[in-house]
A = this chain, B = another copy of it.
Amino acid sequence: MAQRNHEGETAGDLLGDYLRNQAMRFLRGLRLHECSGADAAEASDASEVMRGASRRISGALLTFRPVTDPPWADGLRTELIWVSGVLADEHAYASRLARLLEALHRLSGSAAPQIPAARGAAGPRGGLALGAARAAALLDRQLTLARTRAHSATLQAFGSARFHAVADAVAVLASEVQVDPVAARGDVHQVLVPLASVAESRLAEAVCRLPEPSRIHDEAQDAFWHTVRRLLRTHRYALEVLGEDVTRLATAGEALDRHRDAAEAASASALAARTPRIAPATAYALGVLHADQRHEVEAARLAFQHVWQRSAVRT
């Protein structure tokens, strides 16, 4: 699997370098976040840096667990998953709202003048445009509220003893990685490459278990793709440790990110449609929006399959 030449490097060197780099990245993100103050865009960038580093550290700790001190690795991984979960929520609500408003704009903006509803006997009052505007206002209200709550939760988490302990642990990681002394002295090809292969096999198996991407409204299938998304990330970070090219995995991962985003946007639209006392035109626009996002789910699945088949994965 490995294509780079790792002669003279031990498993501990390579994994240690990667973990230290990601730990320093996490700390940079944290400093940026602390300095961002009221600048929401800067805080969002900082949060993304911290999430990326958290995911990479926990991914590497999972795949290469036998090379580390396992109890330490498991503990740190649990805490980093918590941190990136907290950070992800606020970002998710903001980007979900942006995605839904963009879709509503597309659906009503281009279709409104020609839509039969706007030409019909009842005049323009029944067109998608009116319902879309109301649906946009409703989603804006609901998702902004959720984002505000997530923001408060993030601030609360940042002030907690638990978070300070994670930050301390990452600061230690930036200078010293706790490894298994025997495994860490081993050859990269003998130790890390086989462990990375396990991550790759898990991914390949999950891809094989994917249902045919045909019944797009069957939301029970989404979970299969979310699993592949998670395993693909783990595999990707393992390859990053080995210094491999991950371009195609990143492209496949983007399709799965879109899949997740569209699936959650569709759910948000369905949820908004259950708001009591909304107008039928609003509910109608939310129905159109739901179906539109489910079709984005479908498109993302096809895009993933396309990239995946082209990438000639070695199982």
Interfacial chain B residues near A111, Cβ < 8 Å: 217-219
| Chain B residues, Cβ within 8 Å of A106 | 217
Contact (Cβ within 8 A) B287 A116: no
| Bound CA span A215–B267, Å | 23
In the complex, chain B residues whose CB is within 8 Å of the CB of A117: 270-271, 273-274
Chain A interface, DSSP helix/strand/loop, else mixed: helix
Alpha-carbon separation in the docked complex, A267 to B116 (Å): 6
A279 to B290, CA, bound (A): 17
A215 to B122, CA, bound (A): 26
Q: How far is the CA of A274 from the CA of B121 in the complex (A)?
A: 10
Question: Are A271 and B116 closer than 8 Å at their CB atoms?
Answer: yes
Residues of chain A from 93 to 128 with CB closer than 8 A to chain B in the complex? 106-107, 110-111, 113-117, 120, 122, 126, 128
Chain A: residues with Cβ within 8 Å of the partner, total of 39
Q: How far is the CA of A113 from the CA of B221 in the complex (A)?
A: 12
A10 contacts the other chain (Cβ, under 8 Å)?
no
The oligomer's copy count stands at 2
Instruction: Report if A289 contacts B (CB, 8 A).
Output: yes
**Cα of A285 to Cα of B283 in the assembled complex, Å:** 8
A235 to B271, CA, bound (A): 50
Which one of B219, B278, B290 contacts A288 once the chains associate, using CB atoms below 8 Å?
Answer: B290
**In the assembled complex, how far is the CB of residue A22 from the closest CB belonging to chain B, in whole angstroms?**
34
Asked if B218 and A126 sit within 8 Å, CB to CB, the answer is no
Q: Which residue of B lies closest to A122 (CB)?
A: B274
Interface centre among A271, A289, A290, A295 (most CB of B within 10 A): A290
User: For the complex, what is the distance from the CA of A207 to the CA of B120, rounded to whole Å?
Assistant: 29
Judge if A49 is at the interface, Cβ distance under 8 Å. no
Residue of B at shortest CB range from A113? Answer: B220
**Chain B nearest Cβ from A33, distance in angstroms:** 32
Q: Name the one of B113, B267, B274, B287 contacting A286, with C-beta atoms under 8 angstroms.
A: B287
Top 10 A-B residue pairs of the complex, sorted by shortest distance between their CB atoms:
A287-B287, A291-B291, A126-B274, A280-B283, A114-B220, A284-B287, A283-B284, A283-B283, A111-B217, A287-B288
- Besides the known contacts A107-B217, A115-B270, 18 further A-B residue pairs in the complex with CB atoms under 8 A apart: A114-B220, A116-B270, A117-B270, A117-B271, A117-B273, A120-B270, A122-B274, A126-B273, A126-B274, A273-B280, A280-B280, A280-B282, A283-B284, A284-B286, A284-B287, A287-B289, A287-B290, A291-B295
Q: Give 28 pairs: A residue, B residue, CB < 8 Å, sorted on A.
A: A106-B217, A107-B291, A111-B217, A111-B218, A111-B219, A114-B219, A114-B220, A115-B219, A115-B270, A116-B267, A116-B271, A117-B270, A120-B274, A122-B274, A273-B284, A278-B280, A279-B280, A280-B282, A281-B283, A283-B287, A284-B287, A284-B290, A285-B287, A287-B287, A287-B289, A287-B290, A287-B291, A288-B288
